[in-house]
Amino acid sequence: MLKTRFWLLFGPLALWMTAFLILPYAQVLVQSFYTVDDFGLLQPGFSLDSYRRFATGPLYYGTLGKTFVLAGAVTLGCLLLSLPLAYYIAFKARRNKTLLYTLIILPLWVSYIVRAYAWKTILGEEGVLNTFLMYVGLTHEPIHLLLYSDVAVFICMVHIYTPFVLMPIYTAFEQIPKSLIEASKDLGAGRWTTFRQVVFPLSLPGIIAGGTFSFVLSLGDFLAPILLGGPNTLFISNIFQNMFGTSNDKPLGSAVGIVLLVVVLLILELSGRAEKRYSSLESA
C-alpha cells in the first residue's frame, strides 16, 4: 500500500527526470567519447580525443578561463549593485518598499533578447548614450568601445542578472530580526560597524546564493556575446554552440559541455557548503 502511494507520488517526477535530465545527460556523456569523420558524422566508439583537444587547445581552455573572468566580473558588478539597493529597500524605504521591489523584478518579465537589443540602441555609435555624451560635450566623437565589446557584454549581463542576485539578498536582509540591529546600536556600534558585524554576516547565505546564480548563469550565457560582443568576444558557450552548429563536431561540443557541467556542479557544491556554514552562524 505504502509502495503504491510512493510510486504514485514519485513516479511522474522520476519519469520526468529520466526523460529530460538523466537520458539527455547520459547521451551527452556517451557522445563526448565518440569521434566524427570529416563530414561531421558521428563515429561511435571510445576515444578521449575530444577531452585531449580541450586540454591541449588554448582555444578551448583559454576561452573557458576568459569566461570565468567575465562571469566573476559580472557577479561582482551584480553584488556591488544589489547590496546597497537591497539594503535600502529592506531597511530604509518604508512606504515604497513594494513598489521598489517590483521595479527591480519587472525586467524579468521582458524577454532576454528584447533587453539585449535595447542595449544595442543605447550603446550604439549613434545610440542614446553616445548622442547624449556628445550633446553635453563630454566627448567629441562617439565612444567606440561601448558597443560590440566585452564592456557591452558586461553591462548587459549585469543588468540581466542583478534581479537574481538582489532577490536572495533582500530576502536575507528581511529575515534579520530588527531586535538584533537595535541591540547592536544599544551596545554602541555605529551604522557601519552594525552592518559589518551583524547585517553582513547574517545576509551571507543570501549573498552566496545570489552570487552563485549570477556566476553560473553568466558562465552559460551565449546570447549577450553574440548580440553585443565584439570581434574578440568569444565565450565557452559560443564554442559549445558552434560545435553543435556550424562545426558539427558533437563529440567535442559534448566534452566542452561535460567540462562546464562538472565545473558548475563543483561551484554549486562549494556554494552550498558555504551557505550552510554561514547559516549555522545564524542559529548559533
Partner 1 sequence: MKKLLLSALTVALTASVWSCGGEKKSESAASESTGQTSVADFKGKTLNILCWEGYADKKFTQAFEEKYGVTIKGTYFGSSDELIAKLTAGGGEVYDIVTPSPDMAQALVERDLVQPIDLKKITHYDSLAGKLRSMQDVVKDGQTYGVPFTWGPDYLVYNADVIKTEPTSWNELFKPEYKGKVALWDDISSLYLAGMLLGYDKPDKGGIYNMTEPQLAEVKKKLMQLKPQVRKYWVTAGELDNLMKNKEVTLAVGWPLTPATLKKEGMNVKGLIPKEGATGWIDRLMITKNTANKDLAEAWIDYITQAENMAKVGEVTNYSVANPNAKRFMSAELQEITQMNNTDYYFERLNFWQYVKNRKRYNEIWNEIKSGA
CB neighbour class for 49 (10 Å; exposed up to 12, middle 13-18, buried from 19)? middle
Q: Which is nearer to partner 1, 56 or 102 (CB)?
A: 56
- Binding footprint of partner 1 on the chain (CB under 8 A): 36, 38-41, 57-59, 62-63, 66, 124-127, 144, 147-148, 226, 230-232, 234, 239, 242, 245-249
Q: Which is nearer to partner 1, 81 or 226 (CB)?
A: 226
CB 158 within 8 A of CB 78: yes
Q: How many Å is the Cα radius of gyration of the chain? A: 23
Cell numbers representing residue 187 in the block: 551596545
Cell numbers representing residue 86 in the block: 537591497
Compute the least distance from the CB of residue 270 to partner 1, in Å.
27
Q: Which amino acid is at 107?
A: P
Would residue 229 be called left, alpha or beta, if left means φ above 0 and alpha means ψ between -120 and 50 degrees? beta
Compute the least distance from the CB of residue 238 to partner 1, in Å.
8
* Cα(207)–Cα(215) distance, integer angstroms: 12
Compute the least distance from the CB of residue 245 to partner 1, in Å.
6
CB 116 within 8 A of CB 223: yes
Q: Which is nearer to partner 1, 226 or 264 (CB)?
A: 226
Compute the least distance from the CB of residue 126 to partner 1, in Å.
6
Q: Which is nearer to partner 1, 130 or 218 (CB)?
A: 130
Compute the least distance from the CB of residue 172 to partner 1, in Å.
38
Compute the least distance from the CB of residue 144 to partner 1, in Å.
5
Q: Which is nearer to partner 1, 66 or 185 (CB)?
A: 66
36 in helix, strand or coil? strand
Q: Which is nearer to partner 1, 179 or 232 (CB)?
A: 232
Q: Which is nearer to partner 1, 85 or 123 (CB)?
A: 123
Compute the least distance from the CB of residue 247 to partner 1, in Å.
4
Burial 16-40 (b: 16+ CB within 10 A, else e): eeeeeeeeeeeebeebbbbbbeeee
* Cα(116)–Cα(112) distance, integer angstroms: 6
* Cα(15)–Cα(26) distance, integer angstroms: 15
